[in-house]
Amino acid sequence: MELRERIQNATKEAMKARDQLRLSTLRLIGAAIKDREIAARGEPGEGRLTEGDLVALLSRMVKQRQESARAYEEGGRLELAEREQAEIGIIQEFLPRQMDESEVAAAIDAVIAELGATGVRDMGRVMGALRERHAGQMDFGAAGALVKARLMG
């Protein structure tokens, strides 16, 4: 089942279960998808988002909530931080499984070997290939530091 259908089905289930937090989060996801499709209408592909686009959108939503939760915790607003964390959990249900550290390292090594990357100036190519193959499966900020260390060392 494709991601869009899974989100729609989960929304219906949340309505039936009267789960307000889950329902509001799923509606936010739906609204974000619609907004992105409307923005993409002028682009080639007629505004239909691919699975990769949806994964990227959901990943951005998780990152935004992580930043908000951090800000709420620093401001002593723990109940708001907990809500953000709960929303993160719901959104992550629709993202691909996150790779662990050893899987990330193996993926980086494989791409470096495949591209024949030898120095830091190859970092953009390596990161581009990683994003293409593993969208939504790894933290690219952390992966960037690992790639740089591998290419320098």
pLDDT in tens, 92-125: 999 888 888 889 889 998 998 888 888 888 889 9
Cα gap 132→147, rounded to integer Å:
15
Q: Is the pLDDT score of 134 beyond 90?
A: no
Mean pLDDT confidence for 115-140:
85
What angle, 0 to 180 degrees and rounded to 10, lies between the N-to-C axes of helices 123-134 and 140-152?
Answer: 140
Backbone CA torsion sign across 126, 132, 137, 140 = positive
Cα gap 66→74, rounded to integer Å:
12
| pTM to 2 decimal places | 0.71
**Can you read off the two tokens belonging to residue 79?**
């109940």
Backbone CA torsion sign across 95, 100, 101, 103 = negative
Query: What values do phi and psi take at 125, rounded to 5?
Result: -65, -45
CATH no. of 101-152: 1.10.10.410
Q: Is the pLDDT score of 46 beyond 80?
A: no
Burial class (CB in 10 A: 0-12, 13-18, 19+), 24: middle
Residue span(s) of the chain under CATH 1.10.10.410 come to 101-152
Residue span(s) of the chain under CATH 1.10.1510.10 come to 3-92
Contact 127, 147 (CB under 8 A): yes
Fold of 3-92: Hypothetical Protein Yqey; Chain: A; domain1 (1.10.1510)
Cα gap 104→81, rounded to integer Å:
29
